[in-house]
Amino acid sequence: MGALHQGHLNLIKAAQKKADKVVCSIYVNPTQFNNSDDLINYPRLLEEDIKKLETVNCDILFTPSDEVMYQKTSTLKFNFGELDQVLEGAFRPNHFSGVALVVSKLFHIVQPDYAFFGQKDLQQLTIIKKLVQELLFNVQIESVPIQREPDGLAMSSRNGRLNPLERQEAVIFFECLSNARKILLENHDRQATISNVQQAFQHHSAKLEYFDIVDDSDLKPRHENYLRPDTVLCIAGYIGNVRLIDNMYLIS
C-alpha cells in the first residue's frame, strides 16, 4: 500500500530472482480498513516510493485509482471460516475480506506467475494462500522474511507515524517475541510464555492486543509439540495511536 521501506524492496529483489518482469502495485485499499481514521492517516508517499523502486530496477509500477478498482460500491464478502476470525481477525472484522477482494482484483488485472508477500503479515499470507487454493488462481505465492531495523523492530509503513519516543518504545514487540521464544524453547511452558509477555506490557506505555503461539498453516493455538518448524509466535498492539504487528518462528 505504499510508503515503501527495505522490506518492500526485498519483495522486488526476491521477485527478480524468479521472474523476467516484476510488477509492483501501490494502492491504499479502502475495503480492508475498519477504522476510517486509519485510512485517512495511512501514509501516501508515491513520489518517494517511485524513487525507491528505481533503485532496485522494478520494471512496472501499477497505481490504480479507486475508480478503477471499485467502479461501484462493493458488496462482495469473503469468509475464510476460523482462519480470519482469530488474531488480527478478532480485532479487525472484515479486514481480510477486503484484503482478499483487492488481491483477487490485482491477480485478475496483472495475471502474475508469482506473487510475493512479506512474512510480517503472516495471517494475510496464510489467507492469500487459501484464496489461491480455493479460487484456482494460477499463481505461486512466495513468502519473504521480515526485514528488521537494527534494534529489531519489524519494518512497517506505520513506523513512520511514530514520534521519536514512541519509536524507541516500539522495540518492546520484538523484545517480547525474543524473550517468549527463549522461554518456550527452554521449558515448553505455554502459560509461562504468555504471562511473561503480558507482564512486560503492564508497566509500559504500549498496549498489548494479543500474543499467541500458533500453527502457521491454520493459525490455531499450539498447546504441545512446540518444537516444530511451523510454530510461530504472533503479537499485536498499540504505541500511541499506531497499531503494530510482528511475529517470530520458534525455530529459525
Q: Which residues are tagged catalytic?
A: 8
Does 124 belong to an annotated binding site?
yes
Does 5 belong to an annotated binding site?
yes
Does 1 belong to an annotated binding site?
yes
d(CA 84, CA 218): 10
Picking from 132, 130, 174, the residue whose alpha carbon sits closest to that of residue 155 is: 174
* Contact call for residues 104 and 131 (beta carbons, < 8 A): yes
Does 198 belong to an annotated binding site?
no
Does 69 belong to an annotated binding site?
no
Does 157 belong to an annotated binding site?
yes
Does 111 belong to an annotated binding site?
no
Residues 45-65 as b or e (16 or more Cβ within 10 Å = b): eeeebeebbeebebeeeeebe
CB-CB neighbours of 179 under 10 Å: 14
Does 156 belong to an annotated binding site?
yes
Q: Which residues pair with 60 in a beta bridge?
A: 23
Does 2 belong to an annotated binding site?
yes
Does 95 belong to an annotated binding site?
no
Does 120 belong to an annotated binding site?
yes
Grid cell digits, residue 215: 500453527
For the chain, helix, strand, coil in percent to 5 are 45, 20, 35
Does 215 belong to an annotated binding site?
no
Virtual CA dihedral for 183, 186, 191, 197, nearest 10 degrees? 0
Q: Which amino acid is at 30?
A: P
Does 195 belong to an annotated binding site?
no
For the chain, the straight-line distance linking the first and the last C-alpha, in angstroms and rounded, comes to 28
Does 252 belong to an annotated binding site?
no
Picking from 186, 136, 191, 170, the residue whose alpha carbon sits closest to that of residue 243 is: 170
Which residues does the annotation place in the binding site for (R)-pantoate? 32, 124
Which residues does the annotation place in the binding site? 1-8, 32, 118-121, 124, 155-158
Which residues does the annotation place in the binding site for beta-alanine? 32
Which residues does the annotation place in the binding site for ATP? 1-8, 118-121, 155-158
